[in-house]
Amino acid sequence: MLTKRIIPCLDIKNGRTVKGVNFIDLKDAGDPVFLAKQYADMGADEIVLLDISATLEGRKTMRNIVLNVAEHINIPFTVGGGISSIDDVSEMLNCGADKISINSSAIKRPDLINELSQKFGSQCITVAIDAKKIGSEWVVHTTGGTIATNLNLFNWAKEVEQRGAGELLFTSMTNDGTKSGFANEALAKLSKTVNIPIIASGGAGIKKHFVDVFKKGKADAALAASIFHYGNLTIVDLKRILKQQNIQVRL
């Protein structure tokens, strides 16, 4: 059985790690290189670095931060934000990233997923999906969660898989930063919709939320930010709890 992964996420703006609620009200959470090394030393399975304002501001992803993180950690890490071409992916992988994450650029031009998976292999292509529950439907959003699309979460996830993505990173905008738990019902449905690994994001607040996201949400990995950034929970303690609940993790 594959082990479940715990993945701290570093949302980066202007070279600093930030965290907000429902994608707004951003607060400084520290230096990304320092935090990435700290989490690697604490037992994180992977790290995700997201330049959250790159697409919104039309910029490219933070090259120097990626180089520095690669020098200081020995676990896989994913980079996202402002990536929209084969050249962008080549640069990030050459800087030391193990995987890249695309979101808005994939929605704008879905063929990009096919092109990247064919060029670099699906194992290093993660497609991030930000979605908000509106009425009874999960609506995909783009450009840092600021623009609603006409895409349904589950339909888009299936298309993403068919186009060659190796992994999904689903962030529930409804749950993001609320510390009220992951969107387990949507995650469970998503796990039945696709056959590629799903990283759950948005809503982690207490240890039980991680137990639930694996048992109820059927996620393959759980991503969190503020609960780790502000010292509410250590990764080692979390993994011990998960192990006690018969959830396979790497200790």
CA angle 114, 115, 121 (to 5 degrees): 80
Instruction: Give the active site residue among 45, 130, 176, 212.
Output: 130
Q: What φ, ψ does residue 63 adopt, rounded to 5°? A: -65, -45
Instruction: Give the active site residue among 11, 51, 88, 176.
Output: 11
Q: Is 130 a catalytic residue?
A: yes
Residue with tokens 């604490």: 42
Beta carbons within 8 Å of 222's beta carbon, 6+ residues apart = 4, 5, 6, 7, 182, 199, 200, 201, 204, 210, 213, 214
Count of alpha carbons within 13 Å of 57, Cβ hemisphere only? Answer: 11
Q: Is 41 a catalytic residue?
A: no
**Residue 57 amino acid letter:** E
Known catalytic residues are: 11, 130
